[in-house]
Amino acid sequence: MKILVIEDDKEITECIQLAFKVGWPFTEVICSSKGSEGLKYLGEKKFDAVLLDLGLPDIDGIDVLKQIRAFSNIPVVVMTVRSEEISVIRCLEAGADEYIRKPFGQLELLARLKVVLRRQIPIQGEPTAIVGPFAFSYSYRKVVSRGKDVFLTTTEGLILKKLAENIGKIVSFSTLAETIWGDDYPGAVESIRVYILRLRKKLEVDPKHPGIIISHANLGYSLSTNLD
């Protein structure tokens, strides 16, 4: 496996390298301190995933992500100290598969990356799966809703599929966390709320007054049964 790390903080880079050396010792880790250099590496070599910092010295990480998505569907995990919801939304909108806030633990980083990589394994079978009122691609990156193609991140697709499988029922935050990451963890609720916000922007006629994905305070979310 080969991982590209685009990060200008030497201490963080060394921490990431140590995490792979201990946890995934057969992984080749290539590091770049600049966005332009990282993009050059991606154009020249084949990688399995990218760990991308947002605060790069030459190009904003969001712009690097947009450039990556212009030519590649490689899994990208964004690493950021930015806590504002708008920053997270911009990452997801630009095509990030996952994000992790600094400072993070080495085991947490590997666990998040493992989940992202597992999502990329293709599922054999027909090109679409009907779940509730939606027709999903097997990668969960596209869903047909009310006759329209809606393109999703894999995480958004997993959340929507879980809600559709339980249409009319409340799906707890814990269940959604396990669906996305394989386990619940501190901070999962905040992350799920961001993903739901993105889904509403893509699916709802009026995201501020949602009629498809319904919130249940401190419990979770449900998919409306009234989707005519």
Tell me what pLDDT residue 169 has. 94
CA distance 168 to 221: 10
Burial zone of 68 (CB within 10 Å; 0-12 exposed, 13-18 middle, 19+ buried): buried
Query: What is residue 128's three-state secondary structure?
Result: strand
Q: What is the mean pLDDT of each run of 10 residues along the chain (228 residues)?
A: 95 94 93 95 92 93 90 88 73 83 88 81 56 76 81 84 92 92 77 88 90 93 84
Tell me what pLDDT residue 220 has. 95
pTM, two decimals, is 0.66
Rounded to 5°, the CA angle 182-185-186 comes to: 165
Are the beta carbons of 61 and 54 closer than 8 angstroms? Answer: yes
Fold of the domain built from segment(s) 2-119: Rossmann fold (3.40.50)
| pLDDT tens per residue, range 131-190 | 778 888 766 777 888 778 888 877 888 899 899 999 999 999 999 988 888 777 767 888
- Segments making up each domain of the chain, as ranges: 2-119, 128-223
CATH number for the 128-223 domain, one of 3.30.300.20, 3.20.20.70, 1.10.10.10, 3.40.30.10?
1.10.10.10
